[in-house]
Amino acid sequence: MISLVGWATTAGLPEEKRTIGRLVKSVMDLSPLVWIVNTFPNVARVSYDKYIDYGVTPENFFIVMRSVS
């Protein structure tokens, strides 16, 4: 799976491979959110947000956790 992630951002590949790469990247990027929700019972909300426009780079996202007081 790790080698497929590179397809998401490699220029010159056929669109089918880039689509596969983006799907695999999404699974790998979102898996920490699942881990957080299952590991920390006091988490009220978890969000996955971008901080740079996708046109600049598809790589820059951050995770925000909010816990129950």
pLDDT of 69: 63
Write out the two tokens for 7.
């397809």
pLDDT of 12: 95
H/E stretch holding 10:
none
Q: What is the pLDDT of residues 7-26, one digit of tens each?
A: 988 889 999 999 999 999 88
pLDDT of 21: 93
Residue with token string 């951002």:
9
Q: Yes or no: say if 63 and 48 are a contact pair by the CB < 8 Å rule.
A: yes
Report helix, strand or coil for 31: helix
Residues of the chain whose pLDDT is less than 50?
A: none
Using CA atoms, how far apart are residues 37 and 48, in angstroms rounded to an integer? 13
pLDDT of 57: 80
